[in-house]
Structure 1
Amino acid sequence: MAALLQMDARLARPVREAMAQRFAWTPGREQAFSPEEFGQIRVAARRTFRTALLRIRENTAHLTAWREDTFVPGCREWLLGEALDVLARTGDVPVYEKRRTVRKRYRAALVGGGSQYTWKRLYLSRKEAAALAVLIVTELGLNATTVSEMPVPLALPGTPEEGVPVYRLQLEKRRRAGDRGQFESRNLTDSGADSSGRIISEALEATAAARRLLGELDADVNRLLIWRETTPHDGQEYPKAVRVSPFGFGVDESGGAAWARSVGLSGSPLRRLRKTVNVLHRREPGQNTQDTHDRVYVVGEPQAQQAAVPVIAAGALDAVDAARRTVFTARLADAPAAGDLQTATASCSDFEHSPLSPAGQSCSASFLLCTACPNARVTPTHHPRLAHLLQALENLRGVVEPAVWEADWADAHARLADLRGRLGAPVWQAALDAVTTTDRTVIDQLLNGDFDS
């Protein structure tokens, strides 16, 4: 609309210029989950998916044993194995076509006719796939679309045989207004129960039977998240889902919400989980630029703001400490005050209450630190010696290791450079011209450590 209106000659030029500027999208108001909420969601998702994984694992083992002729033909275990074999090859247990009920021969072996006792023995339900998606998001910080469209990860050559599989994930994040998506790959290692790659190993195990059957039905399908429809033959329950025969793919907000309601949560957690993981746990962009990550996700998040308080405070204290070390802090005076004691670089007004030494004790700090002490007084009589000290430090910089220079001499040099700037070039040059043999001797002793106690 703005592009159209800009063509109207009746609009003043300033208005057209304002309309030509890019529109900044208002950041979303979603807030990250608290640590307690995040933990509850993760436990609930783990409970849902773990139950499904153990169910599929048990029935897969039974099917393998049946195919290896472990059971006596005709016994209950054998009939269950035969029903599982039909389920693996067709997507459903043996049923009467018209009534869609389990055939009488297999009812006792299957125990019941509900989904829990029939097709769920080898396949995930839509809610269980949503729980798996939640676990992937909590681990990787991806958005729902990326997880939904994720191809089956590739195991890098040789890694499964070594017992520590490494998976390569091919990820795509779609952009607004039809722009090309952002593609990337990540490698995840399954090195144990707490590793990021373990959820991928379990996802592959839970969807193995579905992927084998889909390979026969449609060889072009390559998705990690696969779930079986509750009503596979009419396909009306989830009309927007991508489907191949009885199977659907991925997860969307409605699927996430359905799972959330089943475990007593309100609304799909997927979007907020992604923000929680990337802002508070991974603390790095998740398929975004650093600028977008900071501006859209981090800046407006209350928990990130709260966590930043001690970091900012520590940074401010570090800056103050650095300033105290490198900024000239001694007092400039026209003449020494009565009672001041002379040091190698300045005069001291109170050596028993120095901020550089414990209270009540005589100051034991190096004379190089007099320029960093508010008790010190620098008068014109000290200018030549300090000017010569700065010159000596600059000469020293070229003959010592950089690390040694930074540790031992850099702060003193910075304070003297600050003093030079305050006094001005003419005064400083006059001080250099007035350096005496005594000044040179004292500075040589100071740099050689002769005054250190």
Structure 2
Amino acid sequence: MNAPGRRAALPSYDHRTPQALLPDSLVVRHRNSRGEIKEFDFSTLTVAEPFQRSLATLFAARCAPQGWSTHVSSSKYWRHVSYFADFLAAQPETVRDIDDLSAAVLRRWRNSLPLHDKQRFTRMAFLLREDPRLQSGAVADELLRRVRLAPSSTQSYSDQEFTRITVAARRTFRTARKRIDANALHLQRWHAGAFAEDSQEWLLGEALDVLARTGLVPEERKPNNMASEGFLYVAADKYQKALGGAKAQFTWQRLFLSRMETTALAVLLMAQFGWNLSVIAGLAVPKASPDPGADGQPTYRLELDKPRRGPSRHHETRNVTDTGAGSAGRLITHALQATRFARSCVAQSAPETDRLMVWRTGHRGPLKVSTDREQPVGVFRFGVLSQDASAWAQAQGFTGSPFLRGRRTVLAVNRREPAQQSEQTFDRSYVLVDRRVQRDSVNVIAAGAEAALTQARNTLLVAALRDSGDPDHVETATADCADPYASPFSNSADLGCTASFLLCLACTNATVHPGHHSRLAHLGAALNNLRSALHPTVWQREWAEHHARLEDLRTRLGNAVWEQALMRVSDADRDLIDHLLHGMLEA
């Protein structure tokens, strides 16, 4: 289905996927996911013609639909291929084709690369390994060799830094949204006939009406030597007073976001969801649930495109609900409100375009846009670039684009969960290398160790092991007690110990000698039987700690002693343990 919901047209019966490399050509044509084509001429490489053809064949295989989806990816690999070809051309060995590659040449190439640029080897090795001639042997082993890459220098923000960035973005976007809402209200009142005709309020309403329908305020052309076409487009004199001036903030910015305001919105989306720029730029207009419910809180369905996940895993959907101020759904509501006029104008000229992040530019001339991005529609642009983020940050007094560090802060520090990467990549590239996570983990690890120690003390044997009993001790169902009135489990020394006999093994006053072994071994067997009869949750809650102490006792005594104890179990031991498990010995 296409964006408006009409069934897309099927290709003709004789349709064939265009070939990336024709049989008699060395030019690879990469068609990206948008259908745009970029050509790479392998005849320009500084290697022999057979090697050019081999490299072109490997490259073309990655340009298939299940391979690279963007020209950014293919262009990056093309640079690595060119660099590799230049390296081979400078070597004393003659390498006419892939067959002539040696492990020594590959090792020399890998060692020549600086640590921060080892990806040139790993990516080129990824291509070469696809050749059938390099599936085994010394060269294949060299291509499979793990390469130590330079650790990432990107670190997360502190709480204070991240708060300042989000506050600045919220301030920028909120100002823009309120401006658009105020002008939208004025336009609504104009449509309702609230203003006297030809009054300043009425003229402003008429100008806004034209702006909402065309993206332009009523204009006229005036000669200007500085303009590229020799003319300058300005608001018509009739409307300039009502608008308040001819500058952008008085004209088209009344209903549309600017580039920097859209960047601020992108920063808020990154801070809320942890998305990167490519996901935000490609975000389709969220659809609200057809039945928002009696509370009137809309739930939006977000359709995300995440190319880095690999083929068949690009797409993901997520539902978010507008539950009020500060919620993820409220941010989506505000984004829809702020872009509604821009999206309406785009829909008139390009109804198949369905992008949330749309903004208006003040430039009328042609603008070079990457073939991987949504192409401009008139004066409207889509998405945000990294240079836009850097420009916004500089204007706000920050250094560099906030997206890399900000996304690391959201995922590695705040959420501790991966977004577009595997758990292994997330741990290796985000969590373990982040200094803030390392500092915060010290207290977490210490708390975990303390909890584990406490749990171990609670579940392991505390009672002392003796070779024989002490006549001064009091016998219990599971051990001997040195002092029932000094129990750690009782709040009153006058009453003596009121704890279950099952806790005797966890008491510092208790001792265990061979006279107890048979009944304790029988108790362990009885708890194992209960485990098979009870629900796991119930057994874990009621009996797991007692069983763990008996297992610890078994480990200390040894299996041989424990098995002999089981063979000596008497009827008195069985009755005693039966009464204990049925609660008949409790106070």
- TM-score with structure 2 setting the length: 0.67
CA distance in 1: counterparts of 2:104 and 2:392, whole angstroms: 55
AA at the equivalent of 1:381:
G
Pair 1:295 & 2:428 matched:
yes
Question: How much does 1:439 deviate?
Answer: 3.9
- Name which of structure 1's ranges 270-279 and 42-51 shifts more when overlaid on structure 2: 270-279
- Look up the match of 2:315: 183
The question of 1:19 aligning with 2:143 is answered: yes
Q: 1: distance between equivalents of 2:487 and 2:275?
A: 56
Deviations 1:94-149 (A, max 9, x none): 23323323322222111111111111111111101111111111221111111111
Does structure 1 residue 81 correspond to structure 2 residue 175?
no
Aligned ranges 1:20-169 → 2 under 5 Å:
20-21=144-145, 28-97=152-221, 98-159=231-292, 163-169=296-302
CA change 1:364–1:317 in 2 (3 A) is farther
1:273 aligns with 2:273: no
- Structure 1 counterpart of 2:521: 387
Give deviations 1:229-278, integer Å, cap 9, x for gaps.
12x22245x76684222121110111112222222222221222222222
CA distance in 2, matches of 1:282, 1:268: 21
Matches within 5 A, 1:366-381: 366-381=500-515
Q: Give the distance between the partners of 1:314 and 1:324, measured in 2 at CA.
A: 15
SS in 2 for 1:78: helix
Identify which of 8, 24, 43 aligns with 2:102: 8
Asked if the contact 1:156/1:166 (under 8 Å) is kept, the reply is: yes
Quote the sequence identity (%): 44
Which region of structure 1 is more displaced relative to structure 2, 392-401 or 69-78? 392-401
Deviations 1:147-205 (A, max 9, x none): 111121222324399732222111112229x9676211111222322221122222222
CA contact (8 A) 1:141 1:277 kept: yes
Are residues 1:233 and 2:364 paired? yes
Give the equivalent residue in structure 1 for 2:356. Answer: 224
CA distance in 1, matches of 2:535, 2:104: 70
TM-score (norm 1): 0.85
- The 10-residue stretch of structure 1 (165-174 or 329-338) with the greater mean CA deviation from structure 2: 329-338
**2:468: which partner in 1?**
335
Q: Contact 2:101/2:139 (CA < 8 Å) preserved in 1?
A: no
Contact 2:308–2:420 (CA under 8 A) maintained in structure 1: no
**Equivalent in the alignment of 1:201:** 333
Deviation, 1:445, is: 4.7
1:321 aligns with 2:454: yes
Measure, in 2, the Cα distance between the counterparts of 1:6 and 1:427: 70
1:254 and 2:387 matched: yes
SS at match of 1:62: helix
The answer to whether the Cα contact below 8 Å between 1:174 and 1:180 also exists between their aligned partners in 2 is no
Alignment match, 2:551: 417
User: Residues 386 and 112 from structure 1, CA distance in 2 versus in 1: closer, same or farther, beyond 3 angstroms?
Assistant: same
Query: Which moved further from structure 2: 119-128 or 20-29?
Result: 20-29
Q: Secondary structure at the match of 2:320?
A: strand
Tell me the distance in 2 between the aligned counterparts of 1:155 and 1:448.
58
When residues 105 and 290 of structure 1 are mapped into structure 2, their CA distance, relative to the original with a 3 A threshold, is same
The answer as to whether partners of 1:129 and 1:226 remain within 8 angstroms in 2 is yes
After superposition, the Cα gap between the structure-2 partners of 1:152 and 1:255, relative to the gap in structure 1 and judged at 3 Å, is same
User: Is the 8 Å Cα contact of residues 182 and 287 (structure 1) preserved in structure 2?
Assistant: no
Secondary structure of residue in 2 paired with 1:201: helix
Distance in structure 2 (CA, Å) of the matches to 1:317 and 1:4: 58
SS state of the match for residue 354, structure 2? coil
Answer with 431-440 or 290-299: which moved more: 431-440
Q: What is the Cα deviation at residue 422 of structure 1?
A: 3.8
- The answer to whether the Cα contact below 8 Å between 1:384 and 1:432 also exists between their aligned partners in 2 is yes
* Cα distance in 1, alignment partners of residues 564 and 353 from structure 2: 84
Question: The residue matched to 1:61 in structure 2 has which SS?
Answer: helix
Q: What secondary structure, in the 3-state scheme, does the structure 1 residue paired with 2:328 have?
A: coil
Indicate how the Cα distance of structure 1 residues 99 and 344 shifts in structure 2: closer, same or farther if over 3 A, else same.
Answer: closer
Change (3 A) 1:138 1:354: same
Note the residue ranges of structure 2 that are not aligned, 5 or more in a row.
1-83, 89-96, 108-136, 222-230
Deviation at 1:431, TM superposition (A): 2.8
The Cα of 1:41 is off from its aligned counterpart by: 1.5
1:317 CA displacement? 3.3
Q: CA deviation at 1:330?
A: 3.0
Gaps of 5+ in 1: none
Quick check: 92-101 or 338-347, which moved more? 338-347
Question: Aligned partners of 1:277 and 1:305: how far apart in 2?
Answer: 15
Relative to structure 2, which stretch is displaced further, 117-126 or 150-159? 150-159
Q: Distance in 1 between matches of 2:166 and 2:317?
A: 25
Contact 2:103 2:142 in 1 (8 A): no
